[in-house]
Structure 1
Amino acid sequence: MDESVNVFGAPLQSCGRDPMTGFFRNGCCDTSDDDFGAHTVCAVMTREFLAFSKYVGNDLTTPRPEYGFLGLKEGDRWCLCASRFLQAHEEGVAPKVNLHATHMRALELIPLTVLELHQIE
Structure 2
Amino acid sequence: MDKDPAINVLGGALQPCSIEPQTGFFRDGSCNTCAEDRGSHTVCAVMTAEFLALSKYLGNDLSTPRPEYAFPGLKPGDRWCLCAGRFLQAHGEGAAPMVDLAATHARALDIVPIGVLHDRALPDPDSDLP
Shorter-chain TM-score: which interval?
over 0.9
| Distance in 1 (alpha carbons) for counterparts of 2:99 and 2:20 | 16
Which amino acid counterpart does residue 23 of structure 1 have in structure 2? F
Counterpart position of 1:62 = 64
Report matched runs for 1:82-97 at 5 Å.
82-97=84-99
Aligned residues: 121
Counterpart position of 2:35 = 33
Please report the TM-score for the alignment, with normalisation by the length of structure 1.
0.99
| Distance in 2 (alpha carbons) for counterparts of 1:28 and 1:12 | 8
Counterpart position of 1:98 = 100
Identity of aligned residues (%): 63
How far off is 1:9 after superposition?
1.1
| Distance in 1 (alpha carbons) for counterparts of 2:100 and 2:83 | 14
| Distance in 2 (alpha carbons) for counterparts of 1:61 and 1:114 | 25
Q: Over the residues paired in the alignment, what is the CA RMSD in angstroms?
A: 0.3
User: Which structure 2 residue ranges, 5 or more long, are not aligned?
Assistant: 124-130
| Distance in 1 (alpha carbons) for counterparts of 2:11 and 2:95 | 27
Structure number with bigger Rg: 2
Counterpart position of 2:127 = none
| Distance in 1 (alpha carbons) for counterparts of 2:109 and 2:59 | 24
Runs (4 or more) in structure 1 with deviation over 3 Å come to none
Report matched runs for 1:1-121 at 5 Å.
1-121=3-123
| Distance in 1 (alpha carbons) for counterparts of 2:33 and 2:53 | 26
| Distance in 2 (alpha carbons) for counterparts of 1:17 and 1:68 | 13
User: Which structure 1 residue ranges, 5 or more long, are not aligned?
Assistant: none
How far off is 1:3 after superposition?
0.3
